[in-house]
Amino acid sequence: MALAEATEKSRVKPLSPEDEVAALNARFEGATAQEILAFAIREGFVGDIAMVSSFGADSAVLLHMVAQVDPETPVVMVDTGKLFPDTLRYRDQLAEALGLTNVQSQKPAKDDLSEVDPSGMLWMSDTDACCHVRKVLPLDVALEGYGAWISGRKRHQAATRSSLSFFEWENGKVKVNPLADWSAADIISYAKARELPPHPLVAQGYPSIGCLPCTSKVKPGEDPRAGRWRGQDKTECGIHLASHGREVDGSGI
Ligand code: SF4
């Protein structure tokens, strides 16, 4: 092959998804969360991106930012059927307050529940299996048809998230993490400055909120996530694990 031909072929060879994501991370190094979101929604993945939110303790910040960029952005919440009623009310109140017009709740498939968790008590014996059928599988369904999704995960939340990038390539989709480098203090400060309504359970001692059976109050001085699956090794719900294995998190969707 002539050099000129080889050079031409290498020039037009498309980047792999991994290389594209690496290029995005290089391009947006030092960018603000708002800049990353504006690019993702208006330029990079137009009509091909959804936000996933747990409507948990600190979800209001990213939801507010998304609403500022485009209030019609699809927002997916996985309704496991085991959430606190307060969370469902908060979802509706927050969506209305922020002007979000496309909030969708995705529930587990009835057939899957009939097969795996007919009594609704699977969480007592196998939390990984319960999270898989109630969180991981419904999210896969909700994100079908999207090439990218926005998550509110942050590096400070867990050791497993300490090297989190703004853009990731995972399970055939781009995952965008605009708040990756935000601290807990940044979140509080942003929410306070804009008077964003807090999740009602935060004031009752729940700094991290997932499903009712698997979330307990946290005592002063404890890690904010200590109330999630208390007494178990479990820290992640599987949604954020590359293989979508049987492991499981939840709060930081
Ligand atoms: Fe089931 Fe608990 Fe996971 Fe919710 S957090 S899906 S109740 S194991």
Domain ranges of the chain: 16-245
pLDDT given for residue 251 in this prediction? 39
Q: What is the Cα–Cα distance from 181 to 251, expressed in whole angstroms?
A: 17
Whole-number Å distance, alpha carbon 137 to ligand 1 midpoint, is 13
- Is residue 135 within 8 A of residue 78, CB to CB? The reply is yes
Nearest CA to ligand 1 atom 6: 131
Dist CA 218 CA 213 (whole Å): 14
Residue 5 has pLDDT above 60, yes or no: no
Q: Among this protein's residues, is 237 annotated catalytic? A: yes
Rounded distance from Cα 140 to ligand 1 centre (Å): 16
Summarize pLDDT for 102-137 with one digit per residue, the tens. 999 999 999 999 999 999 999 999 999 999 999 999
Least confident of 7-11, 118-122, 170-174, 216-220: 7-11
pLDDT band at 21 (very low <50, low <70, confident <90, very high): very high
Atom of ligand 1 nearest to the CA of 212: 7
CATH class assigned to 16-245: alpha beta
> Which residue ranges have their beta carbon within 6 Å of ligand 1?
80, 82, 123, 127, 130-131, 134-135, 210-211, 213-214, 237, 248, 250
Which residue, chain included where needed, has tokens 């991370």? 25
Over residues 43-67, the pLDDT tens digits come to 999 999 999 999 999 999 999 999 9
Distance 166 CA to ligand 1 centre (A): 27
